[in-house]
Structure 1
Amino acid sequence: MSSHFNESVVKFSETTLSRYSKFSVFLVLEPPSVLCNSLFVFYLIKDRNLRLAIHHHAILALLIVSLLTNLIEIPRILHYLRTGSVGTHSSISCLLWQWLDYLFYGQANLLMLWASFERHILVFHGYLVSTSRGRLLIHYLPLLFIVFYLIFFYIIVIFFHSCEKQFDFTSPLCGQPCFTQYPVISLYDLFAHSWLPTFFITLFSVALVIRVINRKRPVARQDIPWRKHRRMILQLLSISTLYFSCMGPYTLIQVIDSLIGLPSTAAYIKNVYLFYVYWLLTLLLPYVCIGCLPEVTNKIRRQVKNWNNRENMIMPTSLT
């Protein structure tokens, strides 16, 4: 994931036991996570009502990023944790891994940031997206900007930046991208795509709860369909709680490390364990969505129930 870590600390601290403990956790979580993730993406796209509901779009984009991470990056990480080496020892493979990792990490942060901000618009200022022009300007264009801006940003800084590209095949991501050696670009990447999103995701989520409590008081009560928005609010709070639980400690320790440095114990925890929290987040996200996307979960349950009923109807006939 997007990180600026001390590779010598990783090599010195990483042990076979620490690698295999993370390998075991990821290996257990990945198959059901990929299955759930695929089903959520499939039904959110297939079902017309779910597809047209704009409050699902940011979460759908986040689930797509999560699915791509679990399908592309997690197998690479599992191979590294099992063997202590990257799978393919080539420059282009390392560049692609670095680009995809930084891209998915940045998109997940900014999409989650936009989802937490957009909930305020959808709940309290729904009239802004009540027209086609409003939905285009306020809803669709920000999502498209996040996706394409990060694609081109990381293409430029990873593939075309005029820095000396060196790879370490015994480190995750083959080491750091060379652009992280330049303080201006590196700090911009950290601030814009990691630190500020984590801070504002927390701020917007807490502010949403406070605004809902204040608006539901009898004195401030307005004509807002709270039952309609209840699921939308709970959906955001469930995912943002998972996000902050995983990314909050890592972001905080990153900031401290950049400002004043870390003692050896904290550096060990950061580089050996917290470095992997984004991948853990993408594996846990589909499990959280089981509870916060009941529209999709209920459709999956009905489909499974229909399959079971068909099997029960066919079996007695075949036996007869």
Structure 2
Amino acid sequence: MLIHFLNLGYISPASGIYCKFWMYVEFTLDSQSVLLAATISVQRHLLIFRQTAFRLRPQRYIYYYLPLLLSIIYPMIFYLATVVFYPCDESQWNFTLNMCGDTACYLSGDLVLAALDWILNTGVPVCIIMLANVTIIIRVLRQKARRHQALPWAKQRRMTLQLLGISCLYLFTWLPTVVTNVMQHVQPSNGLYEIQENYISDLTYLICFLLPWLCLGLVPDFSKWLWKNVHRLQHPTNIIGTTVL
């Protein structure tokens, strides 16, 4: 839908139903992405330091499957109620802006609900992602130091870079969005809205592009394999054979 808008330069079809559908899909997927990342970041602590928590089937359902399932279902229900079924003024849609102006009715109609949405559904999970990934590095290093174990720095460096990279990625992409949206609902500003709409709102798309490469780039020998294949494509091997006359 975003690519379709960027290609045309306007919303098509220009209808409130399409705008609500776009916002519902966008908000739901964004929230699911953040909640899943936060859940997995916390579960990583259990996998490393509390491995017995997943041995029994009931515990696996409680500590593993249930949080992941809730991270998927909760945003679908929440935004179905706040975006699709929330009473809306059709005149507020701007069909020349991305996502119809990114002005869901509940964001302007209920400031308390809007602030809670940005804080609880986005701000808190982003903080959990950063804290969980940073603390897991500290816990691993402290545990090895306490047991007087030698640190395999190549492996620890890879893990540290990956976790810090994920934390910085979510911090860089989501924190400006959360802060500006909360500020807009506390004290609206046209200048801040333009900055948010033209620049800040697009930062979250970086997660889709960078997160897979961030994870794959730190897989052992992946970079060597990638450069080897790129070099092979750039310099194809010439096969010389005999010619029969």
TM-score by length of 1: 0.61
Q: Is residue 118–residue 182 contact of structure 2 (8 Å, CA) maintained in 1? A: no
1:235 aligns with 2:162: yes
2:130 is aligned with 1:202:
yes
Q: Is the 8 A contact 1:238 1:292 kept in 2?
A: no
Cα displacement (A) at 1:267: 5.1
Instruction: Check whether the contact 1:107–1:150 (CA below 8 A) recurs between aligned residues.
Output: yes
Identify the range of structure 1 (237-246 vs 286-295) with the bigger mean alpha-carbon deviation: 286-295
Amino acid across the alignment from 1:102: F
Q: CA deviation at 1:103?
A: 0.7
Alignment of 1:168 onto 2:67:
no
Secondary structure (helix, strand or coil) at the match of 2:12 reads coil
Aligned with residue 91 of structure 1, among 8, 13, 16 = 16
The alpha-carbon distance between structure 1 residues 221 and 262, as it changes in their structure 2 partners (threshold 3 A), is: farther
User: Is residue 118–residue 181 contact of structure 2 (8 Å, CA) maintained in 1?
Assistant: no
> 1:249: which partner in 2?
176
Match of 1:183?
111
Aligned residue among 72, 75, 87 for 1:150: 75
Q: Distance in 2 between matches of 1:274 and 1:261?
A: 16
Tell me how far 1:184 sits from its aligned partner.
Answer: 3.3
SS of 1:161's partner is coil
Residue 200 (structure 2) aligns with: 274
Specify the alignment match of 1:284 in structure 2.
210
Aligned residue type for 1:186? A
The change in CA–CA distance for 1:194 and 1:110 in structure 2 (over 3 A counts) is same
Partners of 2:52 and 2:73 lie apart in 1 by 27
| Number of residues of Structure 1 aligned to a counterpart in Structure 2 | 237
1:1-320 equivalences under 5 Å are 73-79=1-7, 83=9, 85-166=10-91, 167-175=93-101, 176-180=103-107, 181-217=109-145, 220-221=146-147, 230=156, 234-259=161-186, 264=191, 268-294=194-220, 297=222
Higher mean alpha-carbon deviation, 272-281 vs 98-107, is at 272-281
Q: Percent identity?
A: 26
In structure 2, relative to structure 1, the CA distance for the partners of 1:74 and 1:140 (3 Å cut) is same
* 1:128 alignment partner AA: A
Gaps in structure 1 of 5+ consecutive residues = 1-72
Task: List alignment gaps of at least 5 residues for structure 2.
Answer: none
Task: Answer 1 or 2: higher relative contact order, Cα 8 Å, separation at least 6.
Answer: 1
1:199 alignment partner AA: C
| Higher gyration radius (CA) | 2
How big is each residue's C-alpha offset from its partner over 1:39-64, in whole Å with a ceiling of 9 and x where there is no partner?
xxxxxxxxxxxxxxxxxxxxxxxxxx
TM-score w.r.t. length of structure 2: 0.77
Q: Distance in 1 between matches of 2:46 and 2:33?
A: 20
* Change in 2 beyond 3 A, CA 1:133/1:267: same
With over 3 angstroms needed to count, the CA separation of the structure-2 counterparts of 1:148 and 1:316, relative to structure 1, is farther
Q: Is the 8 A contact 1:95 1:159 kept in 2?
A: yes
Question: Cα 1:234–1:138, aligned 2, differ >3 Å: closer, same or farther?
Answer: farther
Q: CA deviation at 1:97?
A: 0.7
Question: CA contact under 8 A between 1:94 and 1:174: conserved in structure 2?
Answer: yes
RMSD: 3.6
* C-alpha spacing 1:177/1:260, structure 2 compared with 1 (3 Å): closer
